[in-house]
Structure 1
Amino acid sequence: MDKKFSEAWSKMMEKLNDWFDALILNLPNIIIAVIVFSVSLFISRYISKGVAKLLEKTKLQASMKSLLSKIASIVIVLMGLFLVLGILNLSKALNTVLAGAGVVGLAVGLALQGALANTYSGIVLSYIKHIKFGDWIESNGFEGEVIDLDLRSVTLKQPDNNLVFLPNKLVVENPIKNYSTTAQSRVILECGVGYESDLEFVRNLVKKTILENFESIEQKEDIIFLYEEFGDSSINFETRFWIKSTSALEVARAKTDAMIAVKKAFDQNDINIPFPIRTLDFPQKLKIASGKNEKDEE
């Protein structure tokens, strides 16, 4: 037993001596590798800052600028890592690592399909001109101002000051209505007047009222007035006009102001805005019971 133990001990010491000799022989390479990797980390920081400064002059989104600067930094670090492996004569280990990374990357890609799709969609949104910070958009049933756009989601600030986070994938795959692409927005006001009203007078009154309350409208011809139908209790019409705003909130405010002005004008001119009513027509032969019993009448 002692003999076996001594043999095992001697083999272990020989192995340790071999490792120590290899460490001493490769010590210059290790020192050079550490220096190269440290320099690559140092350079990557300055490269990242330099790329960020260069991209400040472009029209790219902030998220895209940050992504490109990080990619530049990672590329420098990877180049330094490859140099380190070459200095340490670990090319075979590098091939093994790359082969394993391919398998692991495939598994991770399958597990993170949704996250990767949002990241790719975020890169696409950073390039396109149809959506940018400050735009008022409508997408996926939500409406608001774009206040942030990163690699995960688009952040909208709604009129009630609530924030909505839309995944980038949904924004890319679904229609986007951008109210900020033009300098004007159209306001549509729907209403109805009684059948006894003078329709020509109503039309002129509505146009005059809107013209007097909105400075952006220069003449009556800019206001579109259309009668739509003979409704159940009113003759319905629609008025359209443009305001100098791209915000849906401003459109809603303009519509509110127009409703107040038109209602006031109608009240001053005794024009009725009827509400739905129901008329009951009883046959002439219909007898209505008095509610008294015959005995009480006697």
Structure 2
Amino acid sequence: MNDKLIDAWNKMQEKLESWLDSIVVNLPNILIAILVFIAALIASKYISKIARKILDKSRLQPSMKNLISKFISITVVILGLFLILGILNLDKALNTILAGAGVAGLAVGLALQGALANTYSGIILSYIKHIKFGDWIKTNDYEGEVIDIDLRAVTIKQVDNNLVYIPNKLVVDNPIKNYSTTAQSRVILECGVGYESDLRFVKNLTIETIVNNFKAVENKEDVLFLWREFGDSSINYELRFWINSTSALEVAKAQSETMMLIKEVYDENDINIPFPIRTLDFPDNFSLIKDNNEN
């Protein structure tokens, strides 16, 4: 038993001595590897800053600029690690790592198909010009201001100040209505007046009201007034004009202001905006007075 313990102790000493010899022999390579690692960290930092300055001149989204600069920084560090493995004569370990990374990458790709689809869609959204920070958009039945675009989702702030996170894939695959792509937005309002009204007077009065209260409307030709139908209780029209705004919220405010202006000017000129009326036709022998003889 003692011989076995002594033999094990001797083998352990021999192993430790061989490790120590290896460390001493490879000490210059270890020092060089440490210096290379420090240099890689410093280089990644400065290269990332240079890349960010170059990207700032592009039209990419800010979140995508940060992502690309970080990716470049990580790439520099990884290249430094590969160089360190070569300095330390760990080429076999490097081949093993690369082979394992290939298999692991395939497995991860299959498991994260949805996430990768959102990532790819996020890159597309960062390049296209039809959607950017600050735009007011409507997509997937949600409407609001774009405040962020990353590799996972588009974040929009709704009118009620709530945030909605829409996966990038859904934004790319579905229609997008962007209210901010043009310098102007059209206000559309529907209304109706009573059958006793002078239609030409109503039209001229309504157009003059719009021209006098909205700066973007310079003359009567800028206002489109169309009589649409003889309704059940009113003659209905549609009013259209442009305002200098790229926000759906401003359009809604303009619609609200238009409704107040039209109601005020119609009241001043005794123009009736009727509401639906239902007429009840009673038989001639119908009486609302209850007969006292009835129980």
TM-score (norm 2): 0.94
1:289 and 1:189, CA in 2 relative to 1: closer, same or farther beyond 3 A? closer
Q: In structure 2, how many angstroms separate the alpha carbons of the residues matched to 1:242 and 1:271?
A: 25
**Paired letter, 1:246:** T
Q: Which residue does the alignment assign to 2:234?
A: 234
Moved more, 170-179 or 52-61: 52-61
Q: In structure 2, how many angstroms separate the alpha carbons of the residues matched to 1:209 and 1:6?
A: 108
Whether 1:277 aligns to 2:274 is no
Gaps of 5+ in 1: none
Q: Which residue does the alignment assign to 1:9?
A: 9
Q: Which residue does the alignment assign to 1:212?
A: 212
Offset of 1:295 from its aligned partner? 8.0
Secondary structure of the structure 1 residue equivalent to 2:26: helix
Mapping for residues 1-298 of structure 1, pairs under 5 Å: 1-284=1-284, 286-288=285-287, 290-294=289-293
Equivalent pairs counted in the alignment come to 295
Secondary structure of the structure 2 residue equivalent to 1:273: coil
Secondary structure of the structure 2 residue equivalent to 1:274: coil
**Paired letter, 2:291:** K
Moved more, 160-169 or 195-204: 160-169
CA deviation string 1:40-98 (max 9, x = no partner): 11111111111112222222211121122112111211111111111111111111111
CA deviation string 1:217-238 (max 9, x = no partner): 1221221111222212111111
CA deviation string 1:9-53 (max 9, x = no partner): 222222222222222211211111111111111111111111112
Q: In structure 2, how many angstroms separate the alpha carbons of the residues matched to 1:172 and 1:59?
A: 18
Gaps of 5+ in 2: none
Q: In structure 1, how many angstroms separate the alpha carbons of the residues matched to 2:5 and 2:49?
A: 60
1:12 and 1:289, CA in 2 relative to 1: closer, same or farther beyond 3 A? closer
Offset of 1:117 from its aligned partner? 2.5
TM-score (norm 1): 0.93
Secondary structure of the structure 1 residue equivalent to 2:13: helix
Identity of aligned residues (%): 67
Offset of 1:289 from its aligned partner? 6.3
- Which of structure 1's runs of 4+ aligned residues deviate more than 4 A? none
Q: In structure 2, how many angstroms separate the alpha carbons of the residues matched to 1:170 and 1:229?
A: 39
Q: In structure 2, how many angstroms separate the alpha carbons of the residues matched to 1:48 and 1:60?
A: 16
Q: In structure 2, how many angstroms separate the alpha carbons of the residues matched to 1:95 and 1:165?
A: 41
Q: In structure 1, how many angstroms separate the alpha carbons of the residues matched to 2:140 and 2:47?
A: 39
Moved more, 158-167 or 181-190: 158-167
